Each structure stands twice: as C-alpha cells, then as structure tokens.
C-alpha cells in the first residue's frame, strides 16, 4: 500500500538517487535546507513497503504554486504513484490558498507530457525566459546556474 509523507533528512540519499535515475538535477543539502525554510509540507515522498520510491517538490510564492522534480523509481512506474504524490501536493497547496499551480516540461519529454495531461495540466504557449543575477550564495551549488 503506497504511503505519502513529508520528506525528512534521512531520505536525502535515496531522493538524490531517484532524481539521478530520472535524469533530474540533484538539489544539494544546502539548497534543500534553504527550500525547507518555507513550506516544508510541500516536499513529499512516496513509500511502498517502507521503500522510498517517489518524490515531488512543491513551492508556493503566495500567488502561484510550482511543482518541481517529480520522479518515480523506474521499477515502480505506471502504478499510480506519481498521481498520488501530485494529488497530495495539490491538496496541500489548496490548503495554503493557492489558486493555480504551474510546472515546466521539456517539449521532447512526451511521456511526462502525457502524464501531466492525464492529470489535467495543459501546456501553455508561453516561453520561459531566465537570467542569472550573478549572486554567489554561501551554499553555492552547481544548480544555481541551471534552469528552475
Ligand atoms: C512521469 C513520471 C513521474 C510518472 O510516474 P508514474 O508513477 O509512472 O505515473 P502514474 O502511474 O501515476 O501515471 C498516471 C497516468 O499518467 C499517464 N502516464 C504516466 N506515465 C506515462 C508515460 N510514460 N506515457 C504516457 N502516459 C503516461 C497515464 O495516463 C497514467 O495512467 P495509467 O497508467 O492508468 O494509464 C515517471 O515516469 C518519471 O519519474 N519519469 C522521469 C521523471 C519525469 O519525467 N518527471 C516529470 C518531469 S516534468
């Protein structure tokens, strides 16, 4: 039976492995420490038989929610785990008063696009524009130079 719960620090290595297996950038501990100063209840993991097999990271800026770094262990896909993770995150965002949630998908990532469409997330024509601000944080991480 899948179980969705909040991230706790002993999960870090397993979460990093899931992101790596899914081809996603791994957020460092320092980056996650910074993230967890806000909305720690939006960083969720999925367990099956006490094995951590899925993760999703949500943020809320007071106006819009954002879904980042959703990943499910390849051996556990197509069992509804990502759907459960996203539903739990949506519930938590709604509880914060968030009226709309956004996310980014690479256009060539057809499997992920189909997943998001199945959950009611519709592609928009907007193009993401981005600019680094040249800030070097004490916890400088490689991902500071990467896209969201
Ligand atoms: C995308 C991902 C998170 C989906 O996880 P999952 O647990 O397998 O998804 P679910 O089982 O909850 O899928 C729910 C529905 O989404 C759709 N779906 C999911 N994966 C799909 C795929 N690869 N191709 C087409 N449709 C898909 C199906 O309609 C599915 O329902 P069904 O299995 O009853 O047909 C997983 O494939 C993954 O980790 N991929 C690598 C990382 C990634 O792409 N993350 C999202 C980046 S934006």
- Domain, as residue range, for 110: 2-145
Number of domains in the chain: 1
Q: Which of 122, 124, 132, 105 is nearest to 22 (CA)?
A: 105
Q: How far apart are CA 138 and CA 15, in angstroms?
A: 23
Give pLDDT tens digits for 49-67.
999 999 999 999 999 999 9
Q: How far is the CA of 138 from the centre of ligand 1 (A)?
A: 36
Give pLDDT tens digits for 103-139.
999 989 999 999 999 999 999 999 999 998 988 776 5
| Number of Cβ atoms within 10 Å of the Cβ of 27 | 21
Ligand 1: atom nearest CA of 18 is 39
Asked if residue 67 has its Cβ within 6 Å of ligand 1, the reply is no
CATH at residue 74: 3.40.630.30
């Amino acid at each position: 039976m899948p179980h969705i719960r909040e991230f706790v620090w002993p999960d870090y290595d397993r979460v990093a492995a899931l992101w790596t297996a899914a081809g996603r950038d791994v957020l460092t501990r320092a980056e996650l420490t910074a993230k967890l100063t806000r909305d720690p209840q939006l960083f969720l993991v999925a367990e099956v038989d006490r094995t951590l097999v899925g993760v999703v990271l949500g943020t809320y800026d007071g106006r819009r929610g954002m879904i980042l770094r959703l990943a499910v262990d390849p051996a556990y896909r197509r069992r509804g785990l990502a759907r459960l993770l996203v539903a739990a995150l949506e519930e938590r965002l709604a509880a914060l008063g968030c009226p709309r949630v956004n996310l980014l998908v690479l256009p060539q990532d057809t499997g992920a696009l189909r997943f998001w469409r199945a959950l009611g997330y519709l592609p928009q024509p907007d193009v993401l524009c981005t600019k680094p601000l040249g800030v070097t944080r004490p916890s400088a991480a490689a991902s500071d130079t990467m896209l969201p």
